[in-house]
């Protein structure tokens, strides 16, 4: 059960990294400092005061940057690979009960993939907002993303199982949606062989 909870915490924080790179890291660092989560031994440094201050400062800079016109799109470009890396690391940091090889494999595929998928959706949303409103609505989008990142990150610490179930439901719904939107298969007409007349 403890292993399942830690996996849900890791994947939940990874999903939050798709909205904002440093906000979930700051939440995890404060939670580790408060003893609410126990990172893997190799990631024990995230509970140190230097890490807490560094992640909190980076979080503040990132959140502020998304409210500056045109800077938000530049941040999105840099945030896409950063979100994948952050999602992978934050997931692995919580997989203390797994074999190291399994932890890194699951973290990179599950955590990194999840963060990358969420980040991809935010990039599309922001690009659409910029194209249709010339960036006027981008602060609204930024506020929604900040709220989503904070909510998912905090919920992953306080109620990891609920977040895990939610991620699973969203994944299932996404797969079903993609399956229904696949192009229909074209049936090749079968040629009927008729016997030659005698």
Domain ranges for the chain: 2-159
Residues 165-168: contacts with CB within 8 Å, 24+ apart? Answer: 167/8, 167/11, 167/12, 167/15, 167/114
Distance of CA 182 to the CA centre of its chain: 25
Higher pLDDT, 131 or 135: 131
The pLDDT score that the predictor gives to residue 29 is: 96
The pLDDT score that the predictor gives to residue 115 is: 93
pTM score, whole prediction: 0.83
Q: Are 153 and 24 in contact (CB under 8 A)?
A: yes
pLDDT at 164 over 70: yes
pLDDT at 70 over 80: no
Among 50-54, 119-123, 139-143, 175-179, the range scoring the smallest mean pLDDT is 175-179
């Amino acid at each position: 059960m403890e292993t399942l909870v830690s996996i849900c915490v890791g994947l939940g924080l990874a999903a939050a990294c798709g909205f904002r790179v440093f906000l979930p890291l700051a939440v995890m660092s404060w939670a580790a400092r408060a003893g609410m989560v126990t990172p893997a031994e190799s990631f024990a440094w995230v509970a140190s005061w230097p890490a807490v201050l560094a992640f909190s400062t980076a979080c503040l800079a990132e959140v502020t940057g998304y409210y500056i016109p045109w800077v938000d799109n530049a941040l999105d470009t840099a945030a896409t690979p950063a979100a994948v890396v952050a999602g992978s690391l934050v997931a692995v940091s919580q997989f203390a009960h797994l074999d190291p090889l399994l932890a890194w494999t699951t973290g990179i595929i599950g955590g990194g993939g999840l963060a990358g998928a969420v980040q991809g959706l935010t990039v599309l949303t922001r690009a659409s907002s910029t194209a249709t409103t010339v960036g006027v609505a981008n602060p609204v989008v930024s506020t929604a993303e900040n709220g989503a990142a904070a909510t998912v990150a905090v919920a992953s610490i306080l109620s990891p199982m609920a977040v895990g179930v939610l991620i699973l439901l969203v994944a299932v719904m996404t797969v079903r949606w993609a399956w229904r939107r696949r192009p229909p298969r074209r049936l090749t007409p079968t040629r009927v062989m008729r016997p030659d007349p005698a």
